[in-house]
Chain A
Amino acid sequence: MERARQIVTLTRSLLNFKRFKLGLIIILFLAALSVMSYFSPEQHKWWYSYPKDRPPQWSSLDLILGTTTNGRPVFWAVSNALTNSLYIGLFTALIGSHVGLLVGLLAGTLRGRLEQALILLIDPFIVMPGLPILIIFALALKQTMSIYTVPIILSIIAWAWPARNVRSIALSVINRDFVTIASYSGIGFFNILIYEVMPYILGWHLTNFINTIIWAIGMETALAIFGLSILSEDTLGTMIYWILNYGAVFRGLWWWVLPPVILLVLIFVGFYLISISVSSYLNPRLRGGG
């Protein structure tokens, strides 16, 4: 009951931010579009099941965004691509940011050798440029690439930034007076982590989570443009790969080029707006009192 009321208050105070409202509208629009992909007709995957290079026309939903050079409806392709991209983003964020949370929390609160070892593990992953490493991994794992393995490959890089971020916050919190007093009063290490340190980190964790979604979708797109993603499935990145492959930009097929690009921009803007409104909400002094 208490929990439910807290969530209602949280949503309500978040909705006071104009940026949050705008971000939420964008994300809801994207979600609706991606849900539509479950109703896509079976033949949307087959090549030349529709006339090719057709501009948008209102006659049916299939042709509302025109067709591609392969004779596939752009609308269903982009809807499926959005679902898959969001899936990759969410799955990477679920793995990467949580591994980061755990490692960062331990690196921030433990002392001695273990802390040193964890830092030695985190830092190289931050300094190493991500894309070349991902290209090598993607090349090596090309055969087994599927919508499930791409997030795992991306997570190899994705955990390090959240880990460093969480560690810095944990370090500042663990040295505050109230944590010392909590341990003086006989509260154990794990309870201190959960009750004293976690409230500070959770908000940042949410921001990290959202940022990892953005990062993963961008990274998958970058990999796909090099032709290293799952080319048999639609993702926003592979769509751009095929667009480039068929010279759609040069040939002026704007109805094929614009949808994935606009959706990518909307994903970035939508999640970014939510992420910054969450970060500005994090200061408890801005919340209603009592």
Chain B
Amino acid sequence: MPVETDAVLKAVNVYGEYVLSPEISIKAVNDVSIQLQRNEIVGIAGESGCGKSTLIKVLYGFLDPPLTARGKVMLGVTNNYINILSVSEDYRRENIWWKNISYIPQNSMNVLNPFMRIGDHFSEVLSKHLKISKSEAYKIAEEYIGTMGLRKDVLKAFPHQLSGGMRQRIVVALALQLKPSIIFADEPTTAVDVILQKVLLQFLTEKQKELQNTLVLVTHDMGVHAMITQRMIVMYAGKIIEEAPTENLFEDPKHPYTQALVRSLPRLGDESPKIGLGGVPPDLKNPPLGCKFHPRCPYAADVCRKEEPPLIEYEKGWKVRCVLYSGR
């Protein structure tokens, strides 16, 4: 794989497994390689249990037992690459998390500590990472909150005194305060109504434009992907099955699974009944042989049941994992 100079993060053959006992392990992320460029918005799509969140955890380096990971996740730090998975957790905590990579959680309006004022959230993170006193950190936080377009007096408030949209913006501001080069947003808009969704996504994209960093958005909401992402990665059963520029993917999806995914979206003026995809996602403890998607695939042939198709380059920047496009 040619290394492009402005890749901020390269993941090479990454595996993520939940080891529940010596016999049982769930292979939630299976041989994934991706590259993230500077200043782009990447979307990761897929249904529940396809390994989206686990992939984010592995790329972030947050390996809470029973999750274990293999492979290389190279993070670009000042002309140099660090393998996140091989450095110690203390190193990750001190030098990588929040400084280079940060994370916006699911259900982001309920993640603030109800016992702490907003200002203490900011100053705690600042003083831990920059090794400065709390009062200095508080001053920096006061300036910073102004640049994020929020009023200074929110710093004195407790989380329950603010509205949901305000809290979400504060969580985003917290994630961005050390100007990280990559932001992972793990389903930031799930369980939120559409108005708050729009407010949050606009805020996120605005800040991304300002900081020129990489935003990775994980969600199963195809509408969100269509609205803000530039490049999309579709996952199924722990593997990347299609990777393409968002516009192309929505216009002409290649993989049968992506086709079904895009077909499920309602379109203006389209009155034909929606036909869902039959079957259920495979059991990751015991995945099917060959292509993981073959039990549900309308085009499944004999070869699909035997061999796993490779991820092939269909066009430049457009990869798909399906035998239909392998030229056979």
Report which residue of A112, A177, A184, A195 has the largest number of chain B beta carbons within 10 angstroms of its beta carbon.
A184
Q: Which residues of B contact A (CB under 8 A)?
A: 60, 62, 65, 90, 92-94, 96-99, 102-103, 105, 107, 110-116, 124-125, 128-129, 156-158, 160-161, 174
18 residue pairs of the A-B complex, CB under 8 angstroms, read A177-B110, A178-B114, A181-B111, A183-B62, A184-B103, A185-B174, A186-B94, A186-B99, A186-B128, A187-B124, A187-B125, A187-B128, A188-B93, A284-B114, A284-B115, A284-B158, A290-B157, A290-B161
B65 partner residues in chain A, CB cutoff 8 A: 111-112
- 6 additional A-B pairs beyond A186-B94, A186-B98, A187-B128, beta carbons within 8 Å, are A111-B65, A178-B111, A185-B97, A186-B96, A187-B125, A290-B156
Contact across chains for B111 and A177 when beta carbons are under 8 A apart: yes
Contact across chains for B107 and A195 when beta carbons are under 8 A apart: no
**Chain B minimum-CB-distance residue to A188:** B93
Per-residue 0/1 for A145-186: is the Cβ within 8 Å of any B Cβ (1 yes, 0 no)?
A: 000000000000000000000000000000001101111111
**Chain B minimum-CB-distance residue to A191:** B128
Q: Beyond A177-B111, A181-B105, A284-B115, is A186–B160 a contact (Cβ under 8 Å)?
A: no
Report which residue of B98, B105, B111 has the largest number of chain A beta carbons within 10 angstroms of its beta carbon.
B111
**Chain A minimum-CB-distance residue to B106:** A177
Q: Which residues of A contact B (CB under 8 A)?
A: 111-112, 177-178, 180-188, 191, 195-196, 199-200, 284-285, 289-290
6 closest A-B pairs by CB: A186-B97, A177-B111, A199-B115, A186-B93, A178-B113, A184-B103
Contact across chains for A195 and B110 when beta carbons are under 8 A apart: no
Contact across chains for A177 and B105 when beta carbons are under 8 A apart: yes
Contact across chains for B105 and A184 when beta carbons are under 8 A apart: yes
**Chain A minimum-CB-distance residue to B111:** A177
B92 partner residues in chain A, CB cutoff 8 A: 186
A111 partner residues in chain B, CB cutoff 8 A: 65
The secondary-structure label for the interface of chain A is helix
**Chain B minimum-CB-distance residue to A180:** B105
**Chain A minimum-CB-distance residue to B57:** A184
How far is the CB of B139 from the nearest CB of chain A, in Å? Answer: 15
Bound-complex Cα distance A177 to B113 (A)? 9
**Chain A minimum-CB-distance residue to B153:** A290
Q: Beyond A185-B102, A186-B128, A289-B158, is A200–B115 a contact (Cβ under 8 Å)?
A: yes
Bound-complex Cα distance A181 to B103 (A)? 8
Bound-complex Cα distance A186 to B103 (A)? 11
Bound-complex Cα distance A24 to B85 (A)? 57
Q: Beyond A181-B105, A184-B60, is A196–B113 a contact (Cβ under 8 Å)?
A: yes
Bound-complex Cα distance A22 to B102 (A)? 51
A285 partner residues in chain B, CB cutoff 8 A: 160
How far is the CB of A146 from the nearest CB of chain B, in Å? Answer: 42
Q: Beyond A177-B107, A177-B110, is A184–B158 a contact (Cβ under 8 Å)?
A: no
B158 partner residues in chain A, CB cutoff 8 A: 284, 289
Bound-complex Cα distance A289 to B156 (A)? 10
**Chain B minimum-CB-distance residue to A184:** B103
Bound-complex Cα distance A75 to B160 (A)? 54
B124 partner residues in chain A, CB cutoff 8 A: 187, 195
A181 partner residues in chain B, CB cutoff 8 A: 103, 105, 111
How far is the CB of A289 from the nearest CB of chain B, in Å? Answer: 6
A195 partner residues in chain B, CB cutoff 8 A: 116, 124
**Chain A minimum-CB-distance residue to B184:** A184
How far is the CB of A176 from the nearest CB of chain B, in Å? Answer: 8
Bound-complex Cα distance A277 to B197 (A)? 42
How far is the CB of B181 from the nearest CB of chain A, in Å? Answer: 15
Contact of A185 among B114, B125, B156 (CB under 8 A): B125
How far is the CB of A78 from the nearest CB of chain B, in Å? Answer: 43
